[in-house]
Chains A and B, each alone.
Chain A
């Protein structure tokens, strides 16, 4: 069964600190993996997209890694800001003509001053 699991479920950190969010998946055949940021009451916005051959991709203070062998991804946030408070969703796509995406349940991050 195709599944995406994220950890931790929630996380509280102080402003300026770094943090790492985890995503494990069992999706086959793998096409790509995306990290989205979702502010409360808003739609998700894409942060990074990674294909099978990519190990690391950065977007400002966000760095995503992908280990296709162990089927794990991480999202590292550097020098956190209050505006980073949001849910972070890992989404995996399998090769198919339906475009079906498999969503993780998200990690809720709260950055405190």
Chain B
């Protein structure tokens, strides 16, 4: 079935480890986004990509990295440089980057233990 698949749903990370969150879509959308959501705050943009092999930093890119080798996939790596990584991470896609509707995955909750 069509949609956006984020995995895993829950992820635990030890301090100092890098972890990678997966986001796969079969909607044939060009643009993909990663957002971070913390309690009581709006979603904040980490990285976005409008086309394969190209991506741009969002508002809070420090401590994160991404790749866009395939149109369908936009993995997010949370590196050890991210000092406060515990949060809910949402992947989104849209047809183009020009203000069209964004569709969201079900999210990954990352907890540092």
Q: Is the CB of B98 within 8 A of A97?
A: yes
Given A98-B56, A100-B45, A105-B42 in contact, is the A43-B104 Cβ separation under 8 Å?
A: yes
- Assess whether B63 is interfacial by the CB under 8 Å rule: no
Contact with B along A41-67 (1 / 0, CB 8 A): 111111001000000000000000000
Which residues does chain B contribute within 8 Å of A31, judged by CB atoms?
98-99
Bound Cα distance from A34 to B98, whole angstroms: 14
Q: Is the CB of B106 within 8 A of A99?
A: no
Tell which of A36, A43, A95, A98 has the most Cβ of chain B within 10 Å. A43
Which residues does chain A contribute within 8 Å of B109, judged by CB atoms?
41
Tell which of B50, B99, B102 has the most Cβ of chain A within 10 Å. B99
Q: Is the CB of A41 within 8 A of B107?
A: yes
Q: Is the CB of A43 within 8 A of B97?
A: no
- Assess whether B90 is interfacial by the CB under 8 Å rule: yes
How many pairs of A and B residues are in contact by the CB < 8 Å rule?
70
Q: Is the CB of A99 within 8 A of B94?
A: yes
Given A41-B107, A46-B101, A99-B97 in contact, is the A105-B48 Cβ separation under 8 Å?
A: no
Tell which of B43, B90, B109 has the most Cβ of chain A within 10 Å. B43
Q: Is the CB of A99 within 8 A of B48?
A: yes
Bound Cα distance from A91 to B58, whole angstroms: 16
By beta carbon, the residue of chain B nearest A3 is B42
- Assess whether B84 is interfacial by the CB under 8 Å rule: no
Question: Closest 6 CB pairs between A and B?
Answer: A99-B97, A43-B104, A103-B42, A93-B99, A31-B99, A103-B43
Which residues of chain A have a CB within 8 Å of any CB of chain B? 4, 9, 31-32, 34, 36, 41-46, 49, 89, 91, 93-101, 103-106
- Further 20 A-B residue pairs, CB within 8 A, beyond A43-B106, A98-B56: A4-B42, A32-B99, A34-B101, A43-B4, A43-B92, A44-B90, A46-B101, A46-B102, A46-B103, A93-B99, A94-B99, A96-B98, A97-B50, A97-B97, A97-B98, A98-B97, A99-B50, A99-B98, A99-B100, A100-B45
